[in-house]
Amino acid sequence: MNNRIDELFNQLGEENQAAFVAYVCAGDPDADTSLEIMHALDRAGVDLIELGVPFSDPLADGIVNQMAADRALNSGASVEQTLGIIRAFRQRSVTPVVLFTYLNPIYAYGFRKFHEDALDAGADGILNLDLPPDEQSINDELCEANKLLNIRIIAPTTPKERMATITGTGRGFIYYISREGVTGQRSELAEGIGKQVAEIKNQTDLPVVVGFGISTPEHSAEVAKVADGVVVGSAIVNTIARHAGEEDLCEMVYDFVKPLVDAAKSV
């Protein structure tokens, strides 16, 4: 049975369009505003939202996303609050939501309970940043079937032979991070994105989306030409950081994201 992620990429594939994926941190700058930001992304035409679960030690994140998690935690964010935001979002939207998280918050909450509650809240997928697929395959608890799609990551340094292992355990889509290191805005795109996406597609039929360093409409359009989806995170989170506390924050997020979405859809 397809979930919202599969349905989205099936539809966009028929329309020959790339998906636009936006990352924001749940609870940044506070729970109520975070929910309204998600709705602003929805209005801007975002196809899928990656929702970060606030964590105190986000090792794969650059300073912009680290500070977002810090703002969220300081405002009272928690796993329970994150799931509540998704549940409230589902009252008005069917846009797919992928939880972007580390294992620590999941285990603190309860591994099985987290997956059950996240699914019940309306999440569609999960991207565990520090869970290697080969570790999951030898741990019965981590192998337990659940209906949240496991999104896998491939990096520029991933050997070809390991790509098969990663893609073979992935569902929904593959997230190709186009640069080494942590998340963050860049003035220029990484080189060889098209070649790397083609290499991954030789290993899997799953859609391939590309993130890390995409921050302008020109970037968005360029990546959309060679990938099934475009991911923008730090640039959006930075917009939230700059205007947190302002009454029209959500409109500012909308105004920033809409040209990025339009550029991806114009290809």
Show me where the domains of the chain are located: 4-261
Separation of CA 40 from chain center: 16
d(CA 251, CA 152): 32
Three-class SS state of 20: strand
Question: Tens place of pLDDT for every residue, the chain, 267 residues?
Answer: 569 999 999 999 999 999 999 999 999 999 999 999 999 999 999 999 999 999 999 887 889 999 999 999 999 999 999 999 999 999 999 999 999 999 999 999 998 899 999 999 999 999 999 887 777 665 666 655 567 999 999 999 999 889 998 999 899 999 999 865 444 445 567 678 999 999 999 999 999 999 988 999 999 999 999 999 999 999 999 999 999 999 999 999 999 999 999 999 998
Distances (CA, A) of 149 to 55, 124, 172, 174, 200: 21, 6, 6, 11, 19
Please tell me the predicted confidence (pLDDT) of residue 179: 66
Please tell me the predicted confidence (pLDDT) of residue 188: 62
Q: Judge contact between 169 and 133, C-beta under 8 A.
A: yes
Please tell me the predicted confidence (pLDDT) of residue 56: 94
Please tell me the predicted confidence (pLDDT) of residue 230: 98
CA angle (190, 192, 198) in 5-degree steps: 130
Q: What is the pTM for the complete model shown?
A: 0.93
Q: Which CATH class is domain 4-261?
A: alpha beta
d(CA 155, CA 69): 23
Please tell me the predicted confidence (pLDDT) of residue 193: 93
d(CA 65, CA 76): 17
DSSP string across 155-192: -TT--HHHHHHHHHH--S-EEEE-SSSS--B-SSPPTT
Three-class SS state of 17: coil
Cβ contacts of 111-118, under 8 Å, gap ≥ 24: 111/141, 111/142, 112/141, 112/144, 114/79, 115/144, 115/146, 115/148, 116/146, 117/83, 118/83, 118/86, 118/148
Please tell me the predicted confidence (pLDDT) of residue 184: 45
Please tell me the predicted confidence (pLDDT) of residue 139: 64
Please tell me the predicted confidence (pLDDT) of residue 182: 44
Please tell me the predicted confidence (pLDDT) of residue 61: 86
DSSP structural state of residue 213: B
Please tell me the predicted confidence (pLDDT) of residue 261: 98
The set of catalytic residues is 50, 61
Tokens of 33: 């505003």
